Amino acid sequence: MISSPFIPRVPLSSSSSSSSSSSSGPVMLPYLSNYPRPKRNDFKSRNLAFMPLKCIHNSRFDSSSESDARLPSFSASCLTATEATLASSDLVADRLRRVVAEFRSLPEPIDRVKRLLHYAALLSPLGDSARAPENRVTGCTTQVWVEAELDKLGRVRFRADSDSEISKGFCSCLIYMLDGAEPEEVVKVKSEDLADLNVGLHGKAHSRVNTWHNVLIAMQKRTTALLAGSE
């Protein structure tokens, strides 16, 4: 089976307070409205929150931007005061919870794929040089590329891209969760945790074409290699 952004169309008990969007409504980032606004005086993050969606997801693969290292490039809306004070381990878990909550709030499969396509649009494309064979994620039916780098604070910065819009959406979510995290936290995430995302998995099976699983494993392998290299 292919990796799918849907699961069967059954009502889901939402674990989120965010509202369910209709299939005809505009694609929104629920946490833009449902999470507290940043309290700290971070003009950069606040400005990002009001930028057009297409502009938010600027790639920040620049390891010199130390101040941004813990700030996921996924969306400025994630830059809440709560998150700013979380330890790295809490950061990844918190982001995972948010993504799970968001997709669980969408009972209609078509809404979940729309959301994925929306996130795909937020992901900056990789240049041709980064779309190199050594960056390919193996095992996907689509082409997926992942780049990883340690920044000056020793955190892992990820970039990813795909020739499939749905796979790109998966990548976008994974980058939101893992970009800027401590390497130890990246390797700790289990693919089973992603099953709760209610998107991209048929049951909890590990399909060889499961993009969630394959991209996560690729990110973890690259992280392990970076750690080994830095030692």
Choices 47-55, 149-157, 160-168, 177-185; region in contact with other proteins by CB under 8 A: 160-168
Contact between residue 50 and residue 5 where contact means Cβ atoms under 8 Å apart: no
Tokens of 86: 């979380």
Instruction: Give me the helix-helix angle, 109-122 and 165-178, nearest 10°.
Output: 70
- Best CA proximity match to 142, nearest among 116, 118, 172, 170: 170
Q: For the segment 96-115, give every residue that binds other proteins (CB under 8 A).
A: 109-110, 113-114
Residue 167, interface with other proteins (CB under 8 A)? yes
Among 45, 142, 198, 210, binds other proteins (CB under 8 A): 142
> C-beta of 21: minimal distance to other proteins in Å?
15
For other proteins, which is the closer residue by CB, 87 or 132? 132
The reply on whether position 143 binds other proteins by CB under 8 A is yes
Question: Smallest distance, Å, CB 135 to other proteins?
Answer: 15
Q: Does the protein bind other proteins through residue 22 (CB under 8 A)?
A: no
| 12 makes contact with other proteins (CB under 8 A) | no
Handedness of CA 50, 52, 56, 59 (dihedral sign): negative
Instruction: Please tell me the distance from the alpha carbon of residue 231 to that of residue 215, in angstroms, as a whole number.
Output: 24
> What is the dihedral sign for C-alpha 185, 197, 72, 144?
positive
* Shortest reach from residue 114's CB to other proteins, in Å: 7
Question: Does 173 participate in catalysis according to the annotation?
Answer: no
Catalytic residue among 55, 78, 140, 173: 140
Q: Report if residue 23 touches other proteins, rule: CB under 8 A.
A: no
| Residue number, 181 or 195, with CB nearest to other proteins | 195
Residue 178 has φ and ψ, to the nearest 5°, of -110, -20
Given 32, 117, 130, 150, the residue binding other proteins (CB under 8 A): 117
Residue whose C-alpha is closest to residue 215's, from 196, 181, 185, 189:
189
Q: Is 31 in the site for other proteins (CB under 8 A)?
A: no
Beta carbon of residue 20, minimum distance to other proteins (angstroms, whole number): 17
Q: Please give the positions annotated as active site.
A: 140
Residues within the interface to other proteins (CB under 8 A): 2-6, 8-9, 109-110, 113-114, 117, 141-143, 163-167, 209
